[in-house]
Amino acid sequence: MNQSLEELCSFLSNPQKIIVTMHRDPDADALGSSLGWASYLTRKGHEVTVISPTEYAANLKWLSGIEHVMIYEKAGEQVKCKRKIEQATLICCLDFSALSRLKDLGRVVADAAAPKLMIDHHLEPEHFAKWMFWDTAAAATAQLVYELVCEMENHAPAEEIFDIPMAECLYAGIMTDTGSFRHGNVTPAVHLAVAALMRTGFDSSRVHRMIYDNAPLSRLQFLGYVLSQKLTVLPQFRTAYMVLTEAELQKFNSSTGETEGIVNYGLQVENVVMSAMFIERKGEVKISFRSVGTFSVRDLASAHFSGGGHKNASGGRSEKPVNETLDYFLSILPDYQQELLNVD
Ligand code: 5GP
Ligand code: MN
């Protein structure tokens, strides 16, 4: 056990008032890792509050413990969340490493007196945390939580450390961040973690179903519309892109989360190595990027769209109108053409 972990363990040997928070618009890894970690801390006798900066997608509502998650952005919740954060003795920051990823909650966390613990796998972390369990090679934050808990429990058998709800939450994070075990981030450690979690006896097929086969009909109709009407392929740049306006989202009654994952379809087109999706929402454009192999959409997102993330999955945003944002994207593609053509 390294020194930092020893220090954390000794801090956690006394009951603490703990906040667990994750990035805005949390996905299954952000929420799954947070709820799994929160459940572990609760079991260890701490008083734990999970706060999400914003609402989360409907297909995550079944995660164990989610009914107690406070949503900072929700009317009437801010004051309660702020009070909890002021009283906290530890703030755990999961699946993000820049406070701007917390939206308005970032300021509150930055100003809080409590020490912070970061558990994350995104590149270029800010240094706001006293304890950092940060590894960009980790496939998911849930993987890091699994490893941290094993370490803290001296590698006792998994079925003694984890229970079914915890295993489901962590599995959900690992499964989604690896694209159901098909991305380049899958390592032996991923399968070993999953094998150990499965010893609790949870139903992994159900987790997959609840996340991926649990959509309202409107989401499939929306997907059909996007794929048939909104997907443009630029073979010379090996790039696919989709643009969705606020009016289109309203027409399909699409909430946050219903667009989640659609960007990946661009990569299914032969020869395409980068897919981008531009979504106009609440006066800004949210952009999602996906790529394969050597092409880094993280570099592109951070150089041009105030964003970041991972090499093959990143995001950013723009305050320009959506058509100008797209024009700008198209104007920078020639700079990346050689790199795009070079991808194996
Ligand atoms: P998504 O497209 O699913 O929203 O995001 C893909 C990845 O990029 C995630 O790992 C997410 O954390 C990261 N990401 C998305 N938007 C942003 C952003 O605005 N800034 C940074 N730094 N990362 C982002
Ligand atoms: Mn993640």
Ligand sitting nearest the alpha carbon of 97: 1
More confident residue, 123 or 29: 29
Tell the residue nearest (CA) to atom 14 of ligand 1.
315
Domain boundary among 155, 185, 212: 212
Mean pLDDT value across residues 261-277: 97
Residue 255 pLDDT greater than 70, yes or no: no
Mean pLDDT value across residues 158-183: 96
Ligand sitting nearest the alpha carbon of 100: 1
Q: What is the CATH number of the domain that holds 226?
A: 3.10.310.30
pLDDT in tens, 152-169: 999 999 999 999 999 999
Domain with 135, as residue range(s), is 3-212
Mutate to test the pocket of ligand 1, among 314, 318, 325 (most ligand atoms within 8 A of CB): 314
Read off the tokens for 330: 């198209």
Domain boundary among 212, 244, 259: 212
Mean pLDDT value across residues 287-311: 96
Domain shared by 259 and 180, yes or no:
no
> What is the per-residue pLDDT for 260?
81
Q: Indicate the average pLDDT of the chain.
A: 95
Instruction: Kindly give the distance from the C-alpha atom of residue 165 to the centroid of ligand 1, in angstroms, as a whole number.
Output: 26
Domain shared by 143 and 170, yes or no:
yes
CB-ligand 1 contact for 314 (6 Å cutoff)? yes
Number of domains into which the chain is organized: 2
Q: Band of the pLDDT at 184, cuts 50, 70, 90?
A: confident
Domain boundary among 212, 241, 263: 212
pLDDT in tens, 185-235: 999 999 999 999 999 999 999 999 999 999 888 889 999 999 999 999 999
